[in-house]
Amino acid sequence: MSPVALTSGETNPVERTVTFPGPASPGVTLSPLRRGPGDPTFQLTADRAIWRTSLLSSGAVTARILRDGPTVVRAQAWGDGADEFIDALPAFLGADDDHSDFAPTDPTVVAALTAVPHLRLGRTGQVLEALVPAVIEQRVPGADAFRAWRLLVTRFGTPAPGPAPERMRVIPSAEVWRRIPSWEFHRANVDPGRARTIVAVAQRAASLERLATRVPAEARQALMSLPGVGIWTAAEVAQRAFGDADALSVGDYHVSKMIGWTLLGRPIDDDAMVELLEPMRPHRHRVVRLLYASGLAREPRRGPRLPVQNIRPL
């Protein structure tokens, strides 16, 4: 990775290009940041650009990220947080992801690595930004969680700076999350338990953001000390905020089944998944991402989708 250009101005965007030693794939790296097709903080446009908003310590930012050649990614950023975003762009795109010690022996994992050898795990460094949607996604179908996230960010977020696509918003600040009334969470179909967790973690936002400077495994343990934050939620945060290659989503409705079907030809539970992937530490999450990104992941559909639990009044 090497930065090629960096420019800024009051009205023009801050820009930077990053060149990788192999194929660049920002779409694959950044896909976990998208919370459903209607995510107001993440949009894809017809020119294959990725638009992303964020709220950094220096302020709000809108970024446009585009693959600009086989090994090159170009980004433009607008808003008070533009310089901070551009400074962190290489890590955001996974340039710091080191998998030199990853030497799988399972033939399916080897095939996945061969298919996508340049899969990179990015890190945002933004803990609350990853934690709130993870809490919203606890124990509910994805479609319901994505709807809740869209409604809350649209209602309480702020307009995206710069020439952002229509309907894009910047996530609420910690102070705003703390002050959202209980009935607004209810209207978004977020039950009182998850709502209380969101308010509680927002109250500790300053200390939570410092976790990004700690060893990922230690940061995960610190997250799990918070009421309402378990192993699954901590892993989901670590994957995105810390680029944690070992943050296995234990407790996920799909992951253990997918791992079982893909590697063993049968479904398994979380305990069996943890045992099966133990030899692949510290890259257990990387294995999951590789299987999905390579198209080798298998999970035969059996039965109907989980029903949405509607807590809103009729």
pLDDT in tens, 267-285: 999 999 999 999 999 999 9
List, for residues 171-222, the tens digit of each pLDDT value: 999 999 999 999 999 999 999 999 999 999 999 999 999 999 999 999 999 9
**Closest C-alpha among 290, 314, 240 to residue 109:** 290
Residue 304 has pLDDT above 60, yes or no: no
Mean pLDDT of 256-272: 97
**Closest C-alpha among 190, 170, 168 to residue 180:** 190
| Both structure tokens of 170 | 């910047």
Mean pLDDT of 46-65: 97
- What is the model's pTM? 0.91
Burial class (CB in 10 A: 0-12, 13-18, 19+), 310: exposed
Whole-angstrom Cα distance, residue 262 to residue 256?
10
- pLDDT band at residue 294, thresholds of 50, 70 and 90? very high
Which pairing describes strands 158-159 and 72-78: parallel, antiparallel, or unpaired? Answer: unpaired
Q: 3-state class of 50 per DSSP?
A: strand
Whole-angstrom Cα distance, residue 115 to residue 241?
26
- Domains parsed from the chain with CATH numbers: 2-98 (3.30.310), 127-242 (1.10.340.30)
- Taking the mean position of all CA atoms in its chain, how far away is CA 224? 18
* Predicted pLDDT of residue 313: 41
